[in-house]
Structure 1
Amino acid sequence: MTATSIFVNIPSTDLERSKAFYEALGFTINPNFTDENAACVVLSDTIYFMVLTREYLQTFTDKQIIDPKSQAQVSIALTRDSREAVDDVLAKGLAAGGSEPREAQDYGFMYSRDLDDPDGNNLSFLFMEPAAAEMGPEAYMAQQGAGDSGTA
């Protein structure tokens, strides 16, 4: 069975600005699927963002295209290998014109920060302790508490 690929279509009011933003985060643009209406942002071998002009995205649906600066339809969560990697990608995104709409979320087992691209599309970058992902957050936190000597 072939692996499923994911294409997330998101709107942009300035395609060139969006391409520069996503490249600043370390992603690449696939020129074979990029033109004046769309840019194919490669996140992995199976995950892509199709950043589309609002007008072009409208051709795919009869529904209203929302303004992601004031309305949320989805929040796209992407994992990173460490807390430092989360902070690093946020720094790159902020330097490239993104914004951080809320404070970092630290749940002990998971660390997450939100980044809005220049159009307001929301990305969450997160790191989860591997043991918490394997055993579940409650069991992981209980295990951490059992071995906790009162120091952090």
Structure 2
Amino acid sequence: MATHKQIYVNLPVKDLARSKAFFEAVGYRFNPQFTNDKGAGMELGENLYAMLLAEDFARTFTPKAFPDARTATTGWVCLSCESREEVDALVARAVAAGGSVPSAPQDHGFMYGHGFEDLDGHHWELVHMTGMPQA
């Protein structure tokens, strides 16, 4: 089985400075060692990072086109939270900073989830789990 020690999710963004300001308003910080005018290393947790890459720079890593994340979904980022209150607080801060909410919160009993879309339309799902689903 393959195992990994870190994860780096790479996301193309149209305006790096604006995206950084958005995520700072939500409550995230950036590692200055991995941040410049081409990309920004956002710290999501211990060994968890999102690399916000200016689109021109991101294109140097792939020949594929970037779909408009406001109208197409190729995937989304899901992060665990310590509580329902943390989930709701992060969504509220994202909305206050200019993000949007793609759907209503979902309560599955063992798991509560809600999410937001950032300025580029990337979907961030936030969940708090209190157990496992019934078999």
TM range (shorter): over 0.9
Match of 1:118 in 2: 119
Deviation track 1:37-66 (CA, whole Å, cap 9, x = no partner) reads 111111123011100111111110111111
Aligned-partner SS, 1:63: coil
Deviation track 1:59-109 (CA, whole Å, cap 9, x = no partner) reads 101111111111111111101111111111111111111100111111111
Match of 1:145 in 2: none
Q: Which 5+ residue runs of structure 2 have no aligned equivalent? A: none
What are the equivalent positions in structure 2 for 1:2-151 lying under 5 Å apart? Answer: 4-129=5-130, 132=131, 136-139=132-135
TM-score normalised over the length of structure 2: 0.93
Aligned-partner SS, 1:58: helix
Identity of aligned residues (%): 41
Cα deviation for residue 18 of structure 1 reads: 0.7
Greater fraction of residues in strand: 2
Letter in 2 for 1:100: V
What is the Cα-based RMSD across aligned positions, in Å?
Answer: 1.4
Greater fraction of residues in helix: 1
Cα deviation for residue 3 of structure 1 reads: 6.1
Letter in 1 for 2:95: L
TM-score normalised over the length of structure 1: 0.83
Q: Which 4+ stretches in 1 moved above 3 angstroms?
A: none
Cα deviation for residue 20 of structure 1 reads: 1.0
Aligned-partner SS, 2:33: helix
Contact 1:3 / 1:46 at 8 angstroms: preserved in 2?
no
